[in-house]
Each structure stands twice: as structure tokens, then as C-alpha cells.
Amino acid sequence: MRDAHRVVVKVGSSSLTRDGGSLDVERLNALVEVLATRRETGSSVVLVSSGAIAAGITPLGLARRPRDLATQQAAASVGQGALVAAYSHAFGTHGLTVGQVLLTADDVTRRSHYANARRTLDRLLDLGVVPVVNENDTVATHEIRFGDNDRLAALVAHLVHADALVLLSDVDALYDGPPSREGTSRIPVVRDADDLSDVRIGGSGSAVGTGGMATKVEAAAIATGAGIPTVLTSTAQAAEALAGEDVGTFFAPTGSRRASRLLWLAHATSPRGRLVLDPGAVRAVVERRKSLLPAGIVSVEGTFTDGDPADLCRLDGHAVARGLVNYDSAELPGLLGRTTHELARELGPSYEREVVHRDDLVLL
């Protein structure tokens, strides 16, 4: 952690706001002080910051975090401007420029959008800018959202080839039970999933945020599964965590890096439909890593369009893979059980294509 050249830091809403939901500039400035100090050592920093919806609560005269999507989007529209303005001012006192990057799940799973997101972040870092990343709550819908910024941070860490991920919140570590209970102990290191087999992980977020402890552990699993060491700790201990001191909980890498886009497809999307495959097609997709053709599909469930994610399932309903489909759900049923050569001969050469290409498919 101490020697990481490129670091992604995620901070939650509760660490940046007062009880009423308004932005706490003192807390924000204290965090920026830590990150600016890290930048002075030559490291690159990407900040994934929650707080847009929370920062919009007070200006809109709301009593609490809104529950309906339309009001959440309105609060995000008002609050995001205030949040980035505060970061611009705080980093500016250290001679650093920030760049706002707002993402939706579609931006990083659809092939045409994904490459641009990666290119933009890489260029910002090359120019010495501190990217401030958030989910684009103003336009995200329930169907195309990450759901919490912990998972977004883990995926961004993979996207920018980060050397480390730091998840900051109002909790200083993962414990083997409720932290308030007597006898509960901090878990200093998690080497693999077996270390958490006896740990009950709960929590669904604060009054102004959505990410509880379960989402943070899930985010750590996504990052470490891609070879990125992760620390979970409180915002107050950010400096110590970045310095490699024994604070919070350290999650050791368990896997190696794989294609970023496939990681996004597996963890950042919700399927719009399901394709039920015959046993031969399941073997072709899972064991031989082949593309999915119309001949191997038994049935189609759900409503989706060309380019949407869909789960590929066995006959018993178990999902074995997820992929981006090349047909919409209205057209696909008429093609099932037929070879691509048949379809091309009868309907034209544009139908000699896969339902899901193997490059757009990830095993679950």
C-alpha cells in the first residue's frame, strides 16, 4: 500500500456530510489534505466519491435522503455541482486540478462506451489531474446502475490498472461481530474467502448512503480477485492506511488481472433477460469457450434490445454465463434452433452472426 504508484480511494457519503445531509467542508478538506500529500510523493490518485445525493438534500429543503428515483436524481443534479466545486477548491489550494467523471453501468459494458471511459481516465492521470468519479445518478435508472460506489470503486481500480484500492467509510475496520459488542475483535487481514466463513457481515448503509459493510466486502472481493490489494478503514485513518500502517482490514490479492470489460460485465450489469440453452450449447460456452449460436437456444425470457446483457442458463435455470446479445428479444424466438447458414440463406447475410460473441461473454 505504501509503495503503490496508482491508488484508487473511495469515500462514502457519511464521511463527507453532516447529520442533516449537507456537505461537511472540514471533513472534505481533511481528506483532500491526505490525498494531496500522497500526490506529492509521485503517486497518481483516483477519487471515487459518493455524496452527490446527500449534498443535495439540504439545498432542496428535504428532511432526509429521498427514496424515489426521480427525487434522488434531482438531489444528485443539485448536489453533484456543490460536491465537485468543493473538491476543486480544496485540491486547488494544493496546486492540483480535478476532473469530474460520471459513469453509468452502460458506459463501461457497451463496447463503444467502454474504451472511451478508459481512455479518458488514463489521459486525465497522464495530465496530472485528480479524477473525481461518481455514478451518474442524474440519469441512471434502477436497471442500469451500480447500486453503490464501493463496487464502482473496485471496478474503476481495475479499469485504470491501479496498484491498490482504499475503501473509506465511518467504520474503521471489518470486525468478527458487531463492533459495539464486548469482546468483538478487528480482523486485520483477510487472505481469502475462508477467513470470513465464520463472520456475519451485515449493514445496509447510513441514512445518507447506500453502501453497508456487505457491499464493501463484495467490492474488496472484486478488486482482490483481479489482483488488487485493498484496505477497508475509516476516513479518519486514511493517511495511516495509505502509509501502509496496521489499520483497518487488509484484503490480500487472490487472483490475477483479466480483461476489464469482462469484469464490468460480470459485476456491474443486471441481466435484462435470460437465454435458456440446451446441454450441448452449455458445454460449448462453458468448456470450449465458444460463441452462442441460435441453434443452441431453447427459449428466451425477458425483454431486451441489441447490446443488452442477458444471462445464459442451463435447462434447470442456473445461470452459467452473462453476455451482450446481438438481437432483441422480439426477433430472437423466430431464430431458435436454426443454424446461422440457414438463417443467412433465408433472411440475408446479416443473420450469419452469433447471438452472443465469445468476446462479449463472461462465465459466472
Quote the percentage of the chain above a pLDDT of 90. Answer: 52
- CA angle, 10 then 140 then 17, to 5°: 40
Find the CATH number of the domain harbouring 169: 3.40.1160.10
Quick one: 148 and 34 in the same domain? yes
Q: What is the pLDDT of residue 38?
A: 96
- Yes or no: say if 320 and 363 are a contact pair by the CB < 8 Å rule: yes
Among 216, 249, 265, where does a domain finish? 265
Poorest-pLDDT segment among 220-224, 255-259, 327-331: 255-259
Is 307 within any annotated ligand binding site? Answer: no
Q: What is the pLDDT of residue 146?
A: 54
Whether 326 is in a domain gets the answer yes
Among 241, 265, 289, where does a domain finish? 265
Q: How many distinct helices (H) and strands (E) make up the chain?
A: 11, 13
Residue 98 — very low, low, confident or very high, per pLDDT cuts 50/70/90?
very high
Q: What is the pLDDT of residue 125?
A: 96
d(CA 124, CA 98): 9
Q: What is the pLDDT of residue 147?
A: 56
Find the CATH number of the domain harbouring 337: 2.30.130.10
For 125-179, strand residue ranges (E) read 130-135, 164-169
Domain range for 127: 6-265
Q: Which three cell numbers stand for residue 280?
A: 450441448
Is 37 within any annotated ligand binding site? Answer: no
Is 210 within any annotated ligand binding site? Answer: yes
Q: What is the pLDDT of residue 20?
A: 59
Quick one: 225 and 344 in the same domain? no
Poorest-pLDDT segment among 187-201, 317-331, 339-353: 187-201
Long-range pairs for 283-291: beta carbons < 8 A, 24 or more residues apart: 285/312, 285/320, 285/321, 285/361, 285/363, 286/320, 286/321, 286/363, 289/358, 290/358, 291/354, 291/355, 291/356, 291/357, 291/358, 291/361
Q: What is the pLDDT of residue 139?
A: 63
Number of domains in the chain: 2
Is 206 within any annotated ligand binding site? Answer: no
- Yes or no: say if 149 and 12 are a contact pair by the CB < 8 Å rule: yes
Whether 348 is in a domain gets the answer yes
- Which of the given ranges, 78-82, 212-216, 326-330, has the highest pLDDT on average? 326-330
Say which residue, 138 or 196, is predicted with more confidence.
196
- Which of the given ranges, 58-62, 73-77, 94-98, 303-307, has the highest pLDDT on average? 94-98
Q: What is the pLDDT of residue 144?
A: 40
Quick one: 338 and 230 in the same domain? no
Is 1 within any annotated ligand binding site? Answer: no
Q: What is the mean pLDDT of the chain?
A: 87
Is 169 within any annotated ligand binding site? Answer: yes
**Considering Cα of 277, then 278, then 284, then 287, what sign does the dihedral take?**
positive
Whether 14 is in a domain gets the answer yes
Judge whether residue 284 has pLDDT over 50: yes
DSSP 354: -
Residue 171 — very low, low, confident or very high, per pLDDT cuts 50/70/90?
confident
Quick one: 261 and 313 in the same domain? no
Quick one: 171 and 299 in the same domain? no
Quick one: 204 and 304 in the same domain? no
Judge whether residue 209 has pLDDT over 50: no
Quick one: 134 and 238 in the same domain? yes
Quick one: 129 and 235 in the same domain? yes
Residue 136 — very low, low, confident or very high, per pLDDT cuts 50/70/90?
confident
Q: What is the mean pLDDT of residues 126-139?
A: 86
Whether 87 is in a domain gets the answer yes
Among 265, 284, 301, where does a domain finish? 265
In a 3-state reduction of DSSP, which class is residue 206? coil
Predicted confidence (pLDDT) per residue in 293-304, tens digit: 999 999 999 999
Q: What is the pLDDT of residue 206?
A: 44
Is 216 within any annotated ligand binding site? Answer: yes
Quick one: 87 and 223 in the same domain? yes
Whether 1 is in a domain gets the answer no
Element (H, E) at 219: helix 213-225
Judge whether residue 207 has pLDDT over 70: no
Q: Which three cell numbers stand for residue 297?
A: 437456444
Judge whether residue 157 has pLDDT over 80: yes
Is 107 within any annotated ligand binding site? Answer: no
- Which of the given ranges, 94-103, 150-159, 188-197, has the highest pLDDT on average? 94-103
Whether 95 is in a domain gets the answer yes
Judge whether residue 143 has pLDDT over 60: no
Residue 305 one-letter amino acid: T
- Yes or no: say if 15 and 7 are a contact pair by the CB < 8 Å rule: no
Quote the percentage of the chain above a pLDDT of 70. Answer: 89
Quick one: 192 and 291 in the same domain? no
Q: What is the pLDDT of residue 226?
A: 87
Quick one: 163 and 275 in the same domain? no
DSSP 258: -
Predicted confidence (pLDDT) per residue in 32-75, tens digit: 999 999 999 999 999 999 888 888 888 888 888 888 888 888 88
Judge whether residue 21 has pLDDT over 90: no
Quick one: 161 and 134 in the same domain? yes
Judge whether residue 145 has pLDDT over 60: no
Whether 184 is in a domain gets the answer yes
Q: What is the pLDDT of residue 208?
A: 42
pTM of the model: 0.78
Residue 361 — very low, low, confident or very high, per pLDDT cuts 50/70/90?
very high
In a 3-state reduction of DSSP, which class is residue 252? coil
Nearest CA to 99 out of 82, 117, 87 is that of 87
Is 255 within any annotated ligand binding site? Answer: no
